[in-house]
Amino acid sequence: MPVRPASSGRAGRRLPLAWLGVLPFFAFTTAFLFLPAANVLVGAFQDDAGGATVDHVRKLFDEPYRTAFKNSIEVSLVTAGLGSVFGLLLAYAAIREGTPRFVRAGLTTFSGVAANFAGIPLAAAFIATLGTIGVVTQFMTNQLGVNPYDHGFSVFSKTGIEIVYLYFQIPLMVLVIAPAIDGLRREWREAASSLGASSWQFWRHVGMPIMTPSILSAFVLLFGNSFSAYATAYGLTGGSVGLVPVTIGFYLSGNVLDDPHLGQALAFGMLVVLALMMLAYVPLQRRASRWSR
């Protein structure tokens, strides 16, 4: 009998020591996530004197803020949709049976780098490539006799932002969807083939129903990644295309405009949009994890 209390006492002493390992994580998230989010929530409903007001939140439904949200949502939907499709096809082509292993290793390595290559360096790279005097633009003009800028294209437009965002959206999709593709067991395809199912029937009735939750959850993740991007769009367009993160930067920096509470209200609107997307992401991710097991 005296052995059991001693063991219980040692277990009780080990628990606090185990929790010490996660204290830095909780401290980091509190300092850089929860406290800033709380400051945004409070500041969005305050006036300059510190009193309560909803005027700043009401302005989100007026111009130019409504257009900024529309542009951000449109860019996010386009890049998340195209990134999901092309990333899925690229990942499946590299992971499926018969593809040499070095192809997957190379694709995974490149995707890990490209998914994190963003901001001012990425904007500068695309300006040097597709700008008015970019390498590709000059080649098309001098060698092919076609200047894309004479036909309405501009890398400094909303379409240009979408093209640049795809550079990191597609690799991110490859990294996210690869485990789900690995989860498609060979036995399922063999069982379908033994029952006379064609490749199309396998994907229609087995493959896609299993993959759909993972694809949708990856789409939500890509949407949030694009919706919150700031430096790439600002470095590419200088703020000429109205996006919510860029507009927030104007109000908080005070270089052009100075209204921190309106900037916080815009950030509050972003939190609402991202929260709605997360409400869809969590159940999809849980369902996808059940299939992967």
Residues 118-156: tens digit of each pLDDT: 889 999 999 999 999 999 999 999 999 999 999 889 999
pLDDT of residue 253: 73
pLDDT of residue 288: 60
Over residues 11-33, mean pLDDT: 75
Q: Residue 170 above 90 pLDDT?
A: yes
- 235 neighbors 165 (Cβ within 8 angstroms): no
pLDDT of residue 151: 87
Q: Which tokens in the block code for residue 21?
A: 């390992």
Residues 245-254: tens digit of each pLDDT: 999 888 877 6
Check residue 239 and give left, alpha or beta (phi > 0: left; psi -120 to 50: alpha): left
Q: Residue 287 above 80 pLDDT?
A: no
Residues 24-50: tens digit of each pLDDT: 888 888 988 889 888 888 988 988 777
pLDDT of residue 159: 94
Confidence grade of residue 261 (pLDDT, cut at 50, 70, 90)? confident
pLDDT of residue 2: 52
- Residue with more model confidence, 253 or 225: 225
- Residue with more model confidence, 260 or 256: 260
pLDDT of residue 141: 93
Task: Delineate the domains of the chain, giving CATH numbers in brackets.
Answer: 66-292 (1.10.3720.10)
Give the position of tokens 């939500």. 220
pLDDT of residue 291: 57
Confidence grade of residue 206 (pLDDT, cut at 50, 70, 90)? confident
Q: Residue 237 above 60 pLDDT?
A: yes
Q: Residue 10 above 80 pLDDT?
A: no
- 87 neighbors 170 (Cβ within 8 angstroms): yes
Per the prediction, the chain carries an average pLDDT of 85
Residues 75-87: tens digit of each pLDDT: 999 999 999 999 9
Give the position of tokens 């204290």. 23
DSSP symbols for the chain: -THHHHHHHHHHHHHHHHHHTTHHHHHHHIIIIIHHHHHHHHHTTB-TTS-B--HHHHGGGSTTHHHHHHHHHHHHHHHHHHHHHHHHHHHHHHHSTTS-HHHHHHHHHHHHHHTT--SHHHHHHHHHHHSTT-HHHHHHHHHSS--GGGGT--TTSHHHHHHHHHHHHHHHHHHHHHHHHHTS-HHHHHHHHHTT--HHHHIIIIIHHHHHHHHHHHHHHHHHHHHT--HHHHHHHTT-S--HHHHHHHHHH-SS---HHHHHHHHHHHHHHHHHHHHHHHHHHHHHHHHH-
Q: Residue 181 above 70 pLDDT?
A: yes
pLDDT of residue 167: 96
d(CA 73, CA 276): 13
Q: Residue 5 above 60 pLDDT?
A: no
Q: Residue 277 above 80 pLDDT?
A: yes
